[in-house]
Structure 1
Amino acid sequence: MADLKDGKTTGHQWDEEEGFPLQEYNNPLPRWWLYSFYATVVWAVIYWVLYPAWPLADGFTKGVWEWSMYKELKQDLDAVAVKQKPFNDRLEKLSLKEIASDNALLQFAVSGGKAVFGDYCAPCHGGGGVGVKAGGFPTLADDDWLFGGDLETIRETITNGRSGQMPAHLKSAGGAFSDAQVDDLTQYVLSLSGKSKDAAAAARGDTLFRGEAACNSCHGDKGDGSLKGTLAGGALPPVGAPNLTDAIWLYGGDVQTVRESIAKGRTGHMPAWGNESASRKLSPLQIKQLTLYVHSLGGGK
Protein backbone atom coordinates (compact mmCIF):
# COMPACT_ATOMS: atom_id res chain seq x y z
CA MET A 1 0.00 0.00 0.00
CA ALA A 2 1.32 3.38 -0.96
CA ASP A 3 2.24 5.82 1.77
CA LEU A 4 -0.38 8.41 2.72
CA LYS A 5 0.18 12.05 1.87
CA ASP A 6 0.27 14.66 4.63
CA GLY A 7 -3.37 15.79 5.05
CA LYS A 8 -2.55 19.33 6.23
CA THR A 9 -3.49 21.01 3.01
CA THR A 10 -6.35 23.01 1.51
CA GLY A 11 -5.64 21.73 -1.99
CA HIS A 12 -7.09 18.76 -3.89
CA GLN A 13 -5.95 15.13 -3.90
CA TRP A 14 -6.76 13.22 -7.06
CA ASP A 15 -6.72 9.44 -7.42
CA GLU A 16 -3.16 8.09 -7.51
CA GLU A 17 -1.81 11.59 -7.95
CA GLU A 18 1.95 11.69 -7.66
CA GLY A 19 1.89 8.11 -6.40
CA PHE A 20 -0.47 8.76 -3.45
CA PRO A 21 -3.91 7.12 -3.22
CA LEU A 22 -7.21 9.07 -2.99
CA GLN A 23 -7.71 10.20 0.62
CA GLU A 24 -10.45 11.86 2.68
CA TYR A 25 -9.13 14.49 5.07
CA ASN A 26 -10.72 15.80 8.26
CA ASN A 27 -9.03 19.14 8.88
CA PRO A 28 -10.42 21.22 11.78
CA LEU A 29 -11.96 24.62 11.02
CA PRO A 30 -9.93 27.71 11.89
CA ARG A 31 -10.55 28.74 15.50
CA TRP A 32 -11.53 32.29 14.56
CA TRP A 33 -14.23 30.98 12.22
CA LEU A 34 -15.49 28.47 14.79
CA TYR A 35 -15.75 31.11 17.53
CA SER A 36 -17.53 33.47 15.15
CA PHE A 37 -20.06 30.76 14.40
CA TYR A 38 -20.68 30.09 18.10
CA ALA A 39 -21.13 33.85 18.64
CA THR A 40 -23.86 34.01 15.97
CA VAL A 41 -25.67 31.10 17.64
CA VAL A 42 -25.56 32.88 20.99
CA TRP A 43 -26.75 36.15 19.36
CA ALA A 44 -29.65 34.32 17.66
CA VAL A 45 -30.84 32.96 20.99
CA ILE A 46 -30.60 36.42 22.60
CA TYR A 47 -32.51 37.94 19.63
CA TRP A 48 -35.29 35.32 19.92
CA VAL A 49 -35.72 36.25 23.59
CA LEU A 50 -35.66 40.04 23.13
CA TYR A 51 -37.43 40.62 19.78
CA PRO A 52 -40.40 39.21 17.81
CA ALA A 53 -39.10 36.13 16.06
CA TRP A 54 -41.16 32.96 15.75
CA PRO A 55 -44.55 32.67 14.03
CA LEU A 56 -47.36 31.13 16.07
CA ALA A 57 -50.84 29.89 15.22
CA ASP A 58 -52.38 33.11 16.55
CA GLY A 59 -49.59 35.57 15.73
CA PHE A 60 -45.93 35.52 16.71
CA THR A 61 -43.67 35.65 19.75
CA LYS A 62 -43.55 39.22 21.06
CA GLY A 63 -40.13 39.14 22.72
CA VAL A 64 -39.24 40.52 26.16
CA TRP A 65 -38.96 44.07 24.81
CA GLU A 66 -42.18 43.74 22.71
CA TRP A 67 -40.61 45.87 20.00
CA SER A 68 -42.10 46.11 16.51
CA MET A 69 -41.48 48.30 13.51
CA TYR A 70 -45.14 49.30 13.53
CA LYS A 71 -44.88 50.51 17.13
CA GLU A 72 -41.74 52.45 16.27
CA LEU A 73 -43.39 53.95 13.21
CA LYS A 74 -46.40 55.01 15.27
CA GLN A 75 -44.13 56.65 17.82
CA ASP A 76 -42.35 58.55 15.04
CA LEU A 77 -45.65 59.63 13.50
CA ASP A 78 -46.98 60.74 16.87
CA ALA A 79 -43.84 62.81 17.42
CA VAL A 80 -44.26 64.44 14.01
CA ALA A 81 -47.96 65.11 14.72
CA VAL A 82 -47.03 66.94 17.92
CA LYS A 83 -44.67 69.22 15.99
CA GLN A 84 -47.21 69.82 13.23
CA LYS A 85 -50.18 70.47 15.50
CA PRO A 86 -49.69 74.26 15.91
CA PHE A 87 -49.50 74.67 12.12
CA ASN A 88 -52.45 72.35 11.48
CA ASP A 89 -54.53 74.22 14.06
CA ARG A 90 -53.90 77.44 12.14
CA LEU A 91 -54.78 75.78 8.84
CA GLU A 92 -58.11 74.60 10.25
CA LYS A 93 -59.02 78.07 11.56
CA LEU A 94 -57.96 80.21 8.60
CA SER A 95 -59.69 80.51 5.22
CA LEU A 96 -58.03 79.40 2.01
CA LYS A 97 -57.34 83.00 1.00
CA GLU A 98 -55.80 83.79 4.37
CA ILE A 99 -53.52 80.76 4.14
CA ALA A 100 -52.53 81.68 0.59
CA SER A 101 -51.45 85.12 1.77
CA ASP A 102 -49.08 83.67 4.42
CA ASN A 103 -46.14 82.25 2.47
CA ALA A 104 -44.69 80.13 5.31
CA LEU A 105 -48.06 78.61 6.19
CA LEU A 106 -48.87 78.14 2.51
CA GLN A 107 -45.68 76.15 1.93
CA PHE A 108 -46.48 73.96 4.94
CA ALA A 109 -50.00 73.32 3.60
CA VAL A 110 -48.75 72.61 0.08
CA SER A 111 -46.22 70.05 1.36
CA GLY A 112 -49.00 68.25 3.21
CA GLY A 113 -51.27 68.43 0.18
CA LYS A 114 -48.55 66.96 -2.00
CA ALA A 115 -48.43 63.88 0.23
CA VAL A 116 -52.23 63.54 0.12
CA PHE A 117 -52.18 63.97 -3.68
CA GLY A 118 -49.56 61.23 -4.05
CA ASP A 119 -51.67 58.80 -2.02
CA TYR A 120 -55.10 59.46 -3.49
CA CYS A 121 -54.96 61.53 -6.68
CA ALA A 122 -51.78 60.64 -8.56
CA PRO A 123 -53.05 57.19 -9.67
CA CYS A 124 -55.55 58.99 -11.93
CA HIS A 125 -54.11 62.46 -12.52
CA GLY A 126 -50.46 61.39 -12.67
CA GLY A 127 -47.50 62.66 -10.69
CA GLY A 128 -47.55 66.44 -10.46
CA GLY A 129 -51.06 66.53 -11.93
CA VAL A 130 -49.90 66.08 -15.53
CA GLY A 131 -53.05 64.11 -16.40
CA VAL A 132 -53.60 60.79 -18.14
CA LYS A 133 -55.13 61.25 -21.59
CA ALA A 134 -55.87 57.56 -22.11
CA GLY A 135 -58.31 57.56 -19.20
CA GLY A 136 -59.64 61.06 -19.69
CA PHE A 137 -58.12 62.34 -16.45
CA PRO A 138 -57.43 66.06 -16.90
CA THR A 139 -54.13 67.78 -16.26
CA LEU A 140 -54.24 70.05 -13.25
CA ALA A 141 -51.18 72.07 -14.21
CA ASP A 142 -52.67 74.30 -16.90
CA ASP A 143 -55.32 77.02 -16.99
CA ASP A 144 -57.98 74.92 -18.71
CA TRP A 145 -60.62 74.16 -16.08
CA LEU A 146 -63.96 72.49 -16.71
CA PHE A 147 -65.63 73.82 -13.55
CA GLY A 148 -63.24 76.56 -12.41
CA GLY A 149 -59.74 76.87 -10.98
CA ASP A 150 -60.18 79.28 -8.08
CA LEU A 151 -59.54 78.03 -4.55
CA GLU A 152 -63.16 77.65 -3.48
CA THR A 153 -64.19 75.84 -6.66
CA ILE A 154 -61.28 73.43 -6.40
CA ARG A 155 -62.26 72.66 -2.80
CA GLU A 156 -65.86 72.10 -3.89
CA THR A 157 -64.69 69.75 -6.65
CA ILE A 158 -62.57 67.70 -4.24
CA THR A 159 -65.23 67.66 -1.53
CA ASN A 160 -68.35 66.86 -3.57
CA GLY A 161 -66.88 65.35 -6.73
CA ARG A 162 -67.89 66.03 -10.33
CA SER A 163 -69.70 64.07 -13.02
CA GLY A 164 -69.97 64.85 -16.71
CA GLN A 165 -71.42 63.11 -19.71
CA MET A 166 -71.07 63.74 -23.40
CA PRO A 167 -73.99 61.94 -25.12
CA ALA A 168 -73.49 59.63 -28.08
CA HIS A 169 -74.63 61.11 -31.41
CA LEU A 170 -74.16 58.20 -33.83
CA LYS A 171 -77.31 56.09 -34.38
CA SER A 172 -75.49 52.78 -33.90
CA ALA A 173 -74.24 54.02 -30.53
CA GLY A 174 -77.63 55.21 -29.30
CA GLY A 175 -77.70 58.67 -30.88
CA ALA A 176 -79.81 60.20 -33.64
CA PHE A 177 -77.33 61.03 -36.42
CA SER A 178 -75.85 59.24 -39.41
CA ASP A 179 -72.15 58.63 -40.06
CA ALA A 180 -72.12 61.51 -42.54
CA GLN A 181 -73.63 63.92 -40.01
CA VAL A 182 -71.12 62.83 -37.34
CA ASP A 183 -68.34 63.45 -39.87
CA ASP A 184 -69.71 66.96 -40.48
CA LEU A 185 -69.87 67.69 -36.74
CA THR A 186 -66.30 66.42 -36.40
CA GLN A 187 -65.07 68.81 -39.09
CA TYR A 188 -66.88 71.74 -37.47
CA VAL A 189 -65.42 70.99 -34.03
CA LEU A 190 -61.96 70.74 -35.59
CA SER A 191 -62.53 74.06 -37.37
CA LEU A 192 -63.05 75.80 -34.01
CA SER A 193 -59.35 75.27 -33.27
CA GLY A 194 -58.19 75.70 -36.88
CA LYS A 195 -57.76 71.98 -37.63
CA SER A 196 -60.54 71.32 -40.16
CA LYS A 197 -59.54 70.58 -43.74
CA ASP A 198 -63.05 70.32 -45.19
CA ALA A 199 -64.79 73.70 -45.22
CA ALA A 200 -68.03 72.40 -46.77
CA ALA A 201 -68.38 69.66 -44.14
CA ALA A 202 -67.57 72.15 -41.38
CA ALA A 203 -70.31 74.47 -42.64
CA ARG A 204 -72.85 71.65 -42.50
CA GLY A 205 -71.56 70.72 -39.04
CA ASP A 206 -72.04 74.32 -37.89
CA THR A 207 -75.74 74.04 -38.69
CA LEU A 208 -76.02 70.79 -36.76
CA PHE A 209 -73.99 72.18 -33.86
CA ARG A 210 -76.48 75.00 -33.33
CA GLY A 211 -79.51 73.07 -34.53
CA GLU A 212 -80.54 69.42 -34.25
CA ALA A 213 -77.47 68.31 -32.25
CA ALA A 214 -77.80 71.32 -29.90
CA CYS A 215 -74.13 71.12 -28.96
CA ASN A 216 -74.14 74.85 -28.24
CA SER A 217 -76.51 74.31 -25.31
CA CYS A 218 -73.54 72.98 -23.34
CA HIS A 219 -70.46 74.20 -25.24
CA GLY A 220 -71.81 77.69 -26.02
CA ASP A 221 -72.52 79.42 -29.32
CA LYS A 222 -68.79 79.90 -29.94
CA GLY A 223 -67.79 76.47 -28.62
CA ASP A 224 -65.69 77.92 -25.82
CA GLY A 225 -67.17 75.74 -23.09
CA SER A 226 -69.71 76.03 -20.32
CA LEU A 227 -67.27 77.86 -18.03
CA LYS A 228 -66.76 80.83 -20.35
CA GLY A 229 -69.27 80.45 -23.15
CA THR A 230 -72.76 81.85 -23.56
CA LEU A 231 -75.96 80.76 -25.29
CA ALA A 232 -77.86 83.57 -26.97
CA GLY A 233 -76.20 86.04 -24.60
CA GLY A 234 -77.07 84.08 -21.46
CA ALA A 235 -74.95 82.01 -19.12
CA LEU A 236 -74.55 78.27 -19.65
CA PRO A 237 -75.29 75.63 -17.00
CA PRO A 238 -72.14 74.51 -15.11
CA VAL A 239 -71.99 71.06 -16.70
CA GLY A 240 -68.23 70.97 -17.32
CA ALA A 241 -68.45 71.11 -21.12
CA PRO A 242 -64.89 71.73 -22.39
CA ASN A 243 -63.63 74.61 -24.48
CA LEU A 244 -63.40 73.41 -28.10
CA THR A 245 -61.53 76.43 -29.42
CA ASP A 246 -58.13 75.80 -27.83
CA ALA A 247 -55.48 73.11 -28.35
CA ILE A 248 -56.17 71.34 -25.03
CA TRP A 249 -58.03 68.05 -25.41
CA LEU A 250 -59.02 65.69 -22.63
CA TYR A 251 -59.04 62.56 -24.80
CA GLY A 252 -57.12 63.80 -27.84
CA GLY A 253 -57.60 66.32 -30.63
CA ASP A 254 -56.89 64.23 -33.75
CA VAL A 255 -59.69 63.57 -36.26
CA GLN A 256 -60.28 59.97 -35.20
CA THR A 257 -60.47 60.72 -31.46
CA VAL A 258 -62.73 63.77 -31.88
CA ARG A 259 -65.05 61.71 -34.10
CA GLU A 260 -65.14 58.92 -31.53
CA SER A 261 -66.05 61.41 -28.79
CA ILE A 262 -68.94 62.76 -30.88
CA ALA A 263 -70.10 59.37 -32.13
CA LYS A 264 -69.94 57.33 -28.92
CA GLY A 265 -69.92 60.01 -26.23
CA ARG A 266 -67.77 60.27 -23.11
CA THR A 267 -68.45 59.84 -19.41
CA GLY A 268 -66.31 61.17 -16.59
CA HIS A 269 -66.59 60.94 -12.82
CA MET A 270 -64.58 62.59 -10.07
CA PRO A 271 -65.27 60.93 -6.67
CA ALA A 272 -66.45 62.97 -3.71
CA TRP A 273 -63.60 62.87 -1.21
CA GLY A 274 -65.59 64.69 1.45
CA ASN A 275 -68.51 62.26 1.36
CA GLU A 276 -69.20 60.88 4.83
CA SER A 277 -70.68 57.66 3.42
CA ALA A 278 -67.81 56.97 1.02
CA SER A 279 -65.27 54.29 1.86
CA ARG A 280 -62.45 56.70 1.06
CA LYS A 281 -62.87 60.00 2.83
CA LEU A 282 -60.45 62.86 3.39
CA SER A 283 -60.65 65.06 6.46
CA PRO A 284 -61.49 68.77 6.07
CA LEU A 285 -57.83 69.57 6.84
CA GLN A 286 -56.60 67.19 4.13
CA ILE A 287 -59.06 68.66 1.63
CA LYS A 288 -57.84 72.15 2.47
CA GLN A 289 -54.18 71.08 2.03
CA LEU A 290 -55.02 69.28 -1.21
CA THR A 291 -56.88 72.33 -2.53
CA LEU A 292 -53.88 74.56 -1.96
CA TYR A 293 -51.53 72.01 -3.54
CA VAL A 294 -53.63 71.59 -6.68
CA HIS A 295 -53.97 75.38 -6.95
CA SER A 296 -50.17 75.69 -6.70
CA LEU A 297 -49.45 73.31 -9.59
CA GLY A 298 -49.49 76.22 -12.01
CA GLY A 299 -53.00 76.32 -13.32
CA GLY A 300 -54.93 77.73 -10.42
CA LYS A 301 -56.70 81.06 -10.98
Structure 2
Amino acid sequence: MTDAERAARLRDAARRAPATVDLEELGPHLAADSIEARARALETLGRLALAGRDVESYADRLDRCYGDRDLLDAPVRLSTERDSEAWVQPRALAFAVAALALTGAVDRGDAIRSAVNAYENQHPEFDAEMRTNTAIREVGWGFASVVIFTDGYVDVILSLVDRDDDTVRRVGASALSDVAEEYAPIRDEYPDETPRLVADAAERLATDSHPRVRYHAAFALTEYAMDRPELVRPRADVLSAALRDEAALVRKEAAATLGFVGAADAVPALRDLAETDPDERVREAAADARESLESERE
Protein backbone atom coordinates (compact mmCIF):
# COMPACT_ATOMS: atom_id res chain seq x y z
CA MET A 1 0.00 0.00 0.00
CA THR A 2 1.37 3.42 -0.95
CA ASP A 3 1.68 6.44 1.33
CA ALA A 4 -1.18 8.09 -0.57
CA GLU A 5 -3.41 5.05 -0.04
CA ARG A 6 -2.62 4.89 3.68
CA ALA A 7 -3.31 8.62 4.01
CA ALA A 8 -6.59 8.15 2.15
CA ARG A 9 -7.65 5.44 4.61
CA LEU A 10 -6.88 7.77 7.52
CA ARG A 11 -8.81 10.58 5.84
CA ASP A 12 -11.79 8.31 5.25
CA ALA A 13 -11.74 7.31 8.91
CA ALA A 14 -11.74 10.98 9.88
CA ARG A 15 -14.80 11.50 7.68
CA ARG A 16 -16.75 8.53 9.07
CA ALA A 17 -15.65 8.22 12.69
CA PRO A 18 -13.16 10.93 13.72
CA ALA A 19 -13.11 9.75 17.34
CA THR A 20 -11.48 6.50 16.24
CA VAL A 21 -8.50 8.07 14.45
CA ASP A 22 -5.12 7.51 16.08
CA LEU A 23 -3.48 10.95 15.99
CA GLU A 24 -0.01 9.42 16.04
CA GLU A 25 -0.64 8.04 12.55
CA LEU A 26 -1.09 11.54 11.18
CA GLY A 27 2.46 12.81 11.61
CA PRO A 28 4.20 10.58 9.06
CA HIS A 29 1.60 11.39 6.42
CA LEU A 30 2.09 15.14 6.85
CA ALA A 31 5.79 14.59 6.10
CA ALA A 32 5.35 12.01 3.31
CA ASP A 33 7.08 12.37 -0.05
CA SER A 34 3.75 11.99 -1.85
CA ILE A 35 1.83 15.24 -2.42
CA GLU A 36 -1.40 13.22 -2.38
CA ALA A 37 -0.52 11.85 1.05
CA ARG A 38 0.34 15.28 2.43
CA ALA A 39 -2.84 16.85 1.09
CA ARG A 40 -5.00 14.06 2.48
CA ALA A 41 -3.25 14.38 5.82
CA LEU A 42 -4.03 18.10 5.91
CA GLU A 43 -7.67 17.36 5.17
CA THR A 44 -7.63 14.80 7.97
CA LEU A 45 -6.13 17.34 10.34
CA GLY A 46 -8.82 19.88 9.49
CA ARG A 47 -11.64 17.36 9.82
CA LEU A 48 -10.37 16.17 13.19
CA ALA A 49 -10.20 19.75 14.46
CA LEU A 50 -13.78 20.36 13.33
CA ALA A 51 -14.85 17.13 15.05
CA GLY A 52 -13.48 18.40 18.36
CA ARG A 53 -10.31 16.34 18.52
CA ASP A 54 -7.37 17.93 20.31
CA VAL A 55 -4.95 18.61 17.46
CA GLU A 56 -2.95 21.46 19.01
CA SER A 57 0.16 19.28 19.05
CA TYR A 58 0.05 19.40 15.25
CA ALA A 59 -0.28 23.17 15.00
CA ASP A 60 3.44 23.62 14.40
CA ARG A 61 3.21 21.32 11.37
CA LEU A 62 1.43 24.11 9.53
CA ASP A 63 4.65 26.12 9.62
CA ARG A 64 6.32 23.44 7.52
CA CYS A 65 3.46 23.49 5.03
CA TYR A 66 3.49 27.19 4.17
CA GLY A 67 6.46 26.79 1.85
CA ASP A 68 5.13 23.62 0.18
CA ARG A 69 4.11 24.89 -3.25
CA ASP A 70 2.41 21.61 -4.15
CA LEU A 71 0.22 21.76 -1.05
CA LEU A 72 -0.75 25.34 -1.83
CA ASP A 73 -2.29 24.08 -5.07
CA ALA A 74 -3.84 20.86 -3.77
CA PRO A 75 -7.65 20.99 -3.48
CA VAL A 76 -9.95 19.36 -0.93
CA ARG A 77 -13.41 18.23 -1.97
CA LEU A 78 -16.02 18.78 0.70
CA SER A 79 -19.57 17.59 0.17
CA THR A 80 -22.02 19.96 1.84
CA GLU A 81 -24.76 17.35 2.13
CA ARG A 82 -24.71 13.58 2.06
CA ASP A 83 -26.61 13.28 -1.21
CA SER A 84 -25.64 16.60 -2.73
CA GLU A 85 -23.95 16.93 -6.09
CA ALA A 86 -22.61 20.33 -5.06
CA TRP A 87 -19.09 20.56 -3.70
CA VAL A 88 -17.00 23.25 -2.14
CA GLN A 89 -13.32 22.89 -2.96
CA PRO A 90 -10.89 24.92 -0.85
CA ARG A 91 -7.17 24.37 -1.05
CA ALA A 92 -5.88 21.78 1.40
CA LEU A 93 -3.70 24.22 3.32
CA ALA A 94 -6.36 26.95 3.44
CA PHE A 95 -8.91 24.43 4.69
CA ALA A 96 -6.60 23.13 7.43
CA VAL A 97 -5.64 26.65 8.53
CA ALA A 98 -9.30 27.67 8.63
CA ALA A 99 -10.36 24.59 10.57
CA LEU A 100 -7.62 25.00 13.17
CA ALA A 101 -8.11 28.75 13.44
CA LEU A 102 -11.88 28.61 13.74
CA THR A 103 -11.74 25.92 16.41
CA GLY A 104 -9.03 27.74 18.38
CA ALA A 105 -6.30 25.16 17.86
CA VAL A 106 -3.96 27.89 16.57
CA ASP A 107 -3.71 31.63 17.05
CA ARG A 108 -6.12 33.02 14.47
CA GLY A 109 -4.21 36.17 13.60
CA ASP A 110 -0.86 34.42 13.25
CA ALA A 111 -2.29 31.58 11.19
CA ILE A 112 -4.16 33.89 8.83
CA ARG A 113 -1.18 36.15 8.25
CA SER A 114 1.10 33.17 7.63
CA ALA A 115 -1.34 31.57 5.20
CA VAL A 116 -1.85 34.80 3.27
CA ASN A 117 1.90 35.27 3.02
CA ALA A 118 2.28 31.70 1.73
CA TYR A 119 -0.31 32.22 -0.99
CA GLU A 120 1.21 35.58 -1.91
CA ASN A 121 4.49 33.80 -2.55
CA GLN A 122 2.68 31.32 -4.79
CA HIS A 123 2.19 33.95 -7.50
CA PRO A 124 5.45 35.88 -8.05
CA GLU A 125 4.29 36.78 -11.56
CA PHE A 126 1.57 39.06 -10.15
CA ASP A 127 2.15 42.59 -8.91
CA ALA A 128 2.08 43.11 -5.14
CA GLU A 129 -1.54 44.24 -4.94
CA MET A 130 -2.83 41.37 -7.05
CA ARG A 131 -0.76 38.84 -5.07
CA THR A 132 -2.31 40.06 -1.84
CA ASN A 133 -5.85 40.19 -3.21
CA THR A 134 -5.51 36.69 -4.67
CA ALA A 135 -4.05 35.29 -1.46
CA ILE A 136 -6.76 36.80 0.69
CA ARG A 137 -9.46 35.39 -1.56
CA GLU A 138 -7.85 31.93 -1.36
CA VAL A 139 -7.60 31.97 2.44
CA GLY A 140 -11.01 33.61 2.77
CA TRP A 141 -12.56 30.83 0.70
CA GLY A 142 -10.97 28.30 3.06
CA PHE A 143 -12.77 29.96 5.96
CA ALA A 144 -16.03 30.28 4.03
CA SER A 145 -15.91 26.62 3.05
CA VAL A 146 -15.74 25.60 6.70
CA VAL A 147 -18.71 27.82 7.55
CA ILE A 148 -20.74 26.35 4.67
CA PHE A 149 -19.60 22.78 5.28
CA THR A 150 -20.33 22.82 9.03
CA ASP A 151 -23.19 25.33 9.02
CA GLY A 152 -21.42 27.10 11.86
CA TYR A 153 -18.63 29.40 13.07
CA VAL A 154 -20.38 32.58 11.92
CA ASP A 155 -19.57 34.27 15.23
CA VAL A 156 -15.87 33.57 14.75
CA ILE A 157 -15.90 34.89 11.19
CA LEU A 158 -17.60 38.06 12.35
CA SER A 159 -14.99 38.46 15.07
CA LEU A 160 -12.27 38.42 12.39
CA VAL A 161 -13.87 41.42 10.69
CA ASP A 162 -13.63 43.28 14.01
CA ARG A 163 -9.84 42.94 14.19
CA ASP A 164 -7.49 45.90 13.89
CA ASP A 165 -5.19 43.94 11.59
CA ASP A 166 -6.07 44.75 7.96
CA THR A 167 -5.07 41.32 6.67
CA VAL A 168 -7.18 39.43 9.19
CA ARG A 169 -10.11 41.76 8.64
CA ARG A 170 -9.90 41.38 4.87
CA VAL A 171 -9.85 37.58 5.11
CA GLY A 172 -12.92 37.68 7.35
CA ALA A 173 -14.74 40.04 4.97
CA SER A 174 -13.78 37.91 1.97
CA ALA A 175 -15.12 34.83 3.75
CA LEU A 176 -18.40 36.57 4.48
CA SER A 177 -18.80 37.62 0.86
CA ASP A 178 -18.14 34.04 -0.25
CA VAL A 179 -20.78 32.77 2.16
CA ALA A 180 -23.23 35.28 0.69
CA GLU A 181 -22.38 34.19 -2.85
CA GLU A 182 -22.23 30.42 -2.40
CA TYR A 183 -24.39 29.35 0.53
CA ALA A 184 -27.77 29.56 -1.17
CA PRO A 185 -26.69 27.87 -4.42
CA ILE A 186 -25.13 25.04 -2.44
CA ARG A 187 -27.82 24.62 0.21
CA ASP A 188 -30.86 25.84 -1.74
CA GLU A 189 -31.70 28.08 1.19
CA TYR A 190 -30.27 30.96 3.18
CA PRO A 191 -28.84 30.40 6.63
CA ASP A 192 -30.80 31.61 9.63
CA GLU A 193 -27.95 34.06 10.23
CA THR A 194 -28.63 35.94 6.97
CA PRO A 195 -30.29 39.03 8.56
CA ARG A 196 -27.36 39.36 10.93
CA LEU A 197 -24.86 38.97 8.09
CA VAL A 198 -26.68 41.64 6.08
CA ALA A 199 -26.54 44.00 9.04
CA ASP A 200 -22.85 43.34 9.57
CA ALA A 201 -22.05 43.82 5.87
CA ALA A 202 -23.88 47.16 5.90
CA GLU A 203 -21.93 48.24 8.97
CA ARG A 204 -18.62 47.32 7.32
CA LEU A 205 -19.60 49.13 4.15
CA ALA A 206 -20.41 52.26 6.11
CA THR A 207 -17.48 52.34 8.50
CA ASP A 208 -14.47 50.22 7.56
CA SER A 209 -11.28 52.07 6.72
CA HIS A 210 -10.00 49.53 4.18
CA PRO A 211 -11.45 49.71 0.65
CA ARG A 212 -11.19 45.95 0.08
CA VAL A 213 -13.20 45.25 3.24
CA ARG A 214 -15.82 47.72 2.03
CA TYR A 215 -15.79 46.03 -1.37
CA HIS A 216 -16.39 42.57 0.10
CA ALA A 217 -19.17 44.01 2.25
CA ALA A 218 -20.78 45.66 -0.76
CA PHE A 219 -20.44 42.45 -2.79
CA ALA A 220 -22.13 40.48 0.00
CA LEU A 221 -25.04 42.92 -0.01
CA THR A 222 -25.35 42.56 -3.78
CA GLU A 223 -25.54 38.78 -3.49
CA TYR A 224 -28.18 38.91 -0.76
CA ALA A 225 -30.16 41.59 -2.60
CA MET A 226 -30.48 39.50 -5.75
CA ASP A 227 -32.64 36.91 -3.96
CA ARG A 228 -33.63 38.52 -0.66
CA PRO A 229 -34.11 42.22 -1.51
CA GLU A 230 -36.43 42.73 1.44
CA LEU A 231 -33.53 42.06 3.81
CA VAL A 232 -31.24 44.60 2.15
CA ARG A 233 -33.77 47.32 1.27
CA PRO A 234 -33.58 48.95 4.74
CA ARG A 235 -29.85 49.54 4.06
CA ALA A 236 -30.50 51.74 1.03
CA ASP A 237 -29.13 54.81 2.83
CA VAL A 238 -25.79 53.07 3.39
CA LEU A 239 -25.71 51.94 -0.24
CA SER A 240 -26.52 55.44 -1.48
CA ALA A 241 -23.68 56.87 0.59
CA ALA A 242 -21.38 54.22 -0.90
CA LEU A 243 -21.99 55.65 -4.37
CA ARG A 244 -19.45 58.28 -3.34
CA ASP A 245 -16.87 55.77 -2.09
CA GLU A 246 -13.28 56.33 -3.25
CA ALA A 247 -13.06 52.72 -4.48
CA ALA A 248 -14.63 52.06 -7.87
CA LEU A 249 -15.54 48.46 -7.04
CA VAL A 250 -17.47 49.63 -3.99
CA ARG A 251 -19.39 52.18 -6.06
CA LYS A 252 -20.15 49.52 -8.67
CA GLU A 253 -21.57 47.03 -6.17
CA ALA A 254 -23.53 49.72 -4.32
CA ALA A 255 -25.11 50.89 -7.57
CA ALA A 256 -26.09 47.36 -8.60
CA THR A 257 -27.57 46.62 -5.18
CA LEU A 258 -29.72 49.76 -5.21
CA GLY A 259 -31.24 48.51 -8.43
CA PHE A 260 -31.98 45.08 -6.97
CA VAL A 261 -33.73 46.48 -3.88
CA GLY A 262 -35.91 48.92 -5.79
CA ALA A 263 -34.47 52.08 -4.20
CA ALA A 264 -36.35 54.62 -6.33
CA ASP A 265 -34.98 57.55 -4.34
CA ALA A 266 -31.52 56.72 -5.64
CA VAL A 267 -32.40 57.33 -9.31
CA PRO A 268 -30.97 60.91 -9.46
CA ALA A 269 -27.67 59.81 -7.88
CA LEU A 270 -27.47 56.78 -10.17
CA ARG A 271 -28.14 58.94 -13.22
CA ASP A 272 -25.31 61.28 -12.21
CA LEU A 273 -23.00 58.32 -11.60
CA ALA A 274 -23.85 56.79 -14.97
CA GLU A 275 -22.90 60.03 -16.70
CA THR A 276 -19.88 61.23 -14.76
CA ASP A 277 -18.08 58.39 -12.96
CA PRO A 278 -14.51 57.92 -14.28
CA ASP A 279 -14.78 54.12 -14.15
CA GLU A 280 -16.62 52.40 -17.00
CA ARG A 281 -17.71 49.49 -14.81
CA VAL A 282 -19.34 51.90 -12.38
CA ARG A 283 -21.06 53.81 -15.16
CA GLU A 284 -22.49 50.61 -16.59
CA ALA A 285 -23.71 49.33 -13.23
CA ALA A 286 -25.30 52.69 -12.42
CA ALA A 287 -27.00 52.88 -15.81
CA ASP A 288 -28.39 49.36 -15.47
CA ALA A 289 -29.68 50.06 -11.96
CA ARG A 290 -31.24 53.36 -13.04
CA GLU A 291 -32.99 51.72 -15.99
CA SER A 292 -34.30 48.95 -13.75
CA LEU A 293 -35.68 51.41 -11.24
CA GLU A 294 -37.23 53.64 -13.87
CA SER A 295 -38.91 50.68 -15.55
CA GLU A 296 -40.48 49.72 -12.21
CA ARG A 297 -42.11 53.16 -12.06
CA GLU A 298 -43.84 52.69 -15.40
- TM-score past 0.5 threshold: no
Give the TM-score, by structure 1 length: 0.21
- Rg larger in 1 or in 2? 1
User: Which structure has the highest strand share of the two?
Assistant: 1
User: Which structure has the highest helix share of the two?
Assistant: 2
Question: Which structure's relative contact order is higher, taking Cα pairs within 8 Å and 6+ residues apart?
Answer: 1
Give the TM-score, by structure 2 length: 0.22
